[in-house]
Structure 1
Amino acid sequence: MEKLVTCFYQRPEAVSRLICFPWAGSGSAHYAHWGKLFDSSTEVYSIRLPGRESRSRESFAQNMDQIVMEIISVLLSKLKEKPFAFFGHSFGSFTSFATAVKLKEICGVEPVHLFVSGASAPHSKARDSLQTTLALGDEDFLKWMTTVGGAPAEMLQSREILEMFVPVLKADLRVLDNFVYEKPSGTVLSCDITCFDGTEDVPHDLEAWKELTSGDFNIYSLPGGHLYLKEPANEKTIVNYIAKHLKTTEMTYL
């Protein structure tokens, strides 16, 4: 499990778990630090995908199914132990959703809450093809990323960071671009879904997420662009919101 999951604050006696899925190009460290922001009732797992951090020598995932099946094969026994929720931003919204759907389909297990951020629903027509963008040279590609708020501008100043970051980011975006989700006639999940988004990010079709669950649905906008969740005030708001909802869920299991 240590290969797939980073958990800086292990809490085996926790009542629930929050599983966090990285945005495109990122590793597991950012979300792993969230563990200190929750109390002892919640344990935070941060997913580490192949091709980064301690898995840097591994080949990148080629498709969404490869990501989903690794997560399920490694974490299924843990997910059956106690209530769990998923959080994902941007690319992580899609990987968390795809994992939730496959879990329910093959195991009859689903998160108590799906928290998604900075992404249109997977079946929405608002999703754009990334083929032209992925064909750009590395520097032009990263300049495009800074214009849409997906990468800090200071990355352009470091050749070393550029060479490390771009291949990982492009690999994740290829997976995303090839991920096609055909929504069935009914809802696919029964858990609650909450969408977060930055007010200055490019527009996302958040309402379409409501079509994917029979559970409650909410949308919350916070100030900032695509990486708005890295702002301390926004991070605190998101964590407090998740903690509140997990507390409510935990009470039903005690």
Structure 2
Amino acid sequence: MVACYPSTPWIIPPPKRFDAPLRLFCFPPAGAGALLFRPWLTYSSPEIELFVIQLPGREHRLKEPCFTELAPLIKALTAAMIPSLEPGKFAFFGHSMGALIAFELTRELRRQGLVLPEYLFVCGRRAPQIPIDNPLYTQNESILIEALRQYGGTPEAVLQNSDLMELFLPIFRSDLTLNETYQYQSELPLEVPIAIFGAMNDPVATPEQFEQWKQQTSGAFELKLFEGGHMFFKDDPKLLLKPIFERLNCRL
């Protein structure tokens, strides 16, 4: 395809340009930024390129306010992403809060009559129609820090650094607010295949809650479970990239 790389703070393209026939857009979980996916970028190939979504309020967008409601975020993100979706085929991957964003972004593209992703890969989040019954966003800082400890992925030295937590916790709380106050609205299932990846010991959601994603597609559906907790893939991106590339008929 004749491609142009995005010129927007919302999207970080791969370090090398391949003009691959398929793009995989990656959406981060609560509190995280594009750096979470930096190890993934080394797997860009002539067949598939990884583009990372950078939300406001973190890393190079630190001075921008975080969103605390999903609807305005989806509106802004859709407008920013449309030019990057036009050149050819694409797929979405989202973890935890990122799974919800990827899902609602796909529904918004459908509402606007725009091209939809080839595949929707979601990870580490209960199906969107299941309300979150144990919200954290109103809890005090010590409870939020303990939640991060249970999720895994944040070094203990960081959790015990008061200066870093003073910077990070407001971002995390804003993202939790967005994720936990989300109000699901019923629509027709997507005509997009969905694969849900989850961990057996995830404190955020159960295998039964992962399974309910099947209600959101009229196409193919698959649930793949892994050992570990919420951030089971952080130290080994291939755990997820291998099944994703396989389902997109690309080589890793």
TM-score, reference length from structure 1:
0.88
C-alpha distance in structure 2 between counterparts of 1:114 and 1:241, whole Å: 13
C-alpha distance in structure 2 between counterparts of 1:183 and 1:207, whole Å: 18
Say whether the 8 Å CA contact 1:6–1:29 is kept in structure 2: no
1:47 is aligned to 2:53: yes
Say whether the 8 Å CA contact 2:153–2:234 is kept in structure 1: no
C-alpha distance in structure 2 between counterparts of 1:52 and 1:85, whole Å: 24
1:128 is aligned to 2:130: no
1:74 is aligned to 2:75: no
Aligned length: 241
The aligned counterpart of 1:251 is none
Say whether the 8 Å CA contact 2:198–2:226 is kept in structure 1: yes
Per-residue CA deviation, residues 55-109 of structure 1 (Å, 9 max, x unaligned), is 1111111311222122211111221211100001111110110101101111332
Alignment of 1:1-254 (within 5 A): 1-125=7-131, 127-130=132-135, 133-149=136-152, 151-184=154-187, 186-187=188-189, 189-202=190-203, 203-204=205-206, 205-232=209-236, 235-247=237-249
SS of the residue aligned with 1:107? coil
TM-score, reference length from structure 2:
0.89
Per-residue CA deviation, residues 170-213 of structure 1 (Å, 9 max, x unaligned), is 000001122111223x42x1111001011211343012111111
Per-residue CA deviation, residues 204-242 of structure 1 (Å, 9 max, x unaligned), is 30121111111100011111111101031xx21211111
SS of the residue aligned with 1:70? helix
C-alpha distance in structure 2 between counterparts of 1:65 and 1:54, whole Å: 23
Of 217-226 and 103-112, more deviation after overlay is shown by 103-112
Residues 128 and 148 (structure 1), Cα distance of their counterparts in 2 relative to 1, 3 Å cut: farther
C-alpha distance in structure 2 between counterparts of 1:53 and 1:211, whole Å: 35
C-alpha distance in structure 2 between counterparts of 1:226 and 1:152, whole Å: 14
C-alpha distance in structure 1 between counterparts of 2:226 and 2:25, whole Å: 22
Say whether the 8 Å CA contact 1:156–1:162 is kept in structure 2: yes
C-alpha distance in structure 1 between counterparts of 2:35 and 2:14, whole Å: 9
C-alpha distance in structure 1 between counterparts of 2:111 and 2:16, whole Å: 29
Say whether the 8 Å CA contact 1:8–1:33 is kept in structure 2: no
Q: Which runs of 5+ in 2 are unaligned?
A: 1-6
Residues 21 and 146 (structure 1), Cα distance of their counterparts in 2 relative to 1, 3 Å cut: same
SS of the residue aligned with 1:25? coil
Say whether the 8 Å CA contact 1:32–1:44 is kept in structure 2: no
Structure 1 residue 134: Cα displacement: 2.3
Residues 34 and 217 (structure 1), Cα distance of their counterparts in 2 relative to 1, 3 Å cut: same
Residues 128 and 149 (structure 1), Cα distance of their counterparts in 2 relative to 1, 3 Å cut: farther
Say whether the 8 Å CA contact 2:151–2:231 is kept in structure 1: no
Say whether the 8 Å CA contact 1:155–1:162 is kept in structure 2: yes
Structure 1 residue 12: Cα displacement: 4.9
Structure 1 stretches of 4+ with a deviation exceeding 3 A read 147-154
C-alpha distance in structure 1 between counterparts of 2:150 and 2:231, whole Å: 12
C-alpha distance in structure 1 between counterparts of 2:230 and 2:150, whole Å: 10
Percent identical pairs in the alignment equals 29
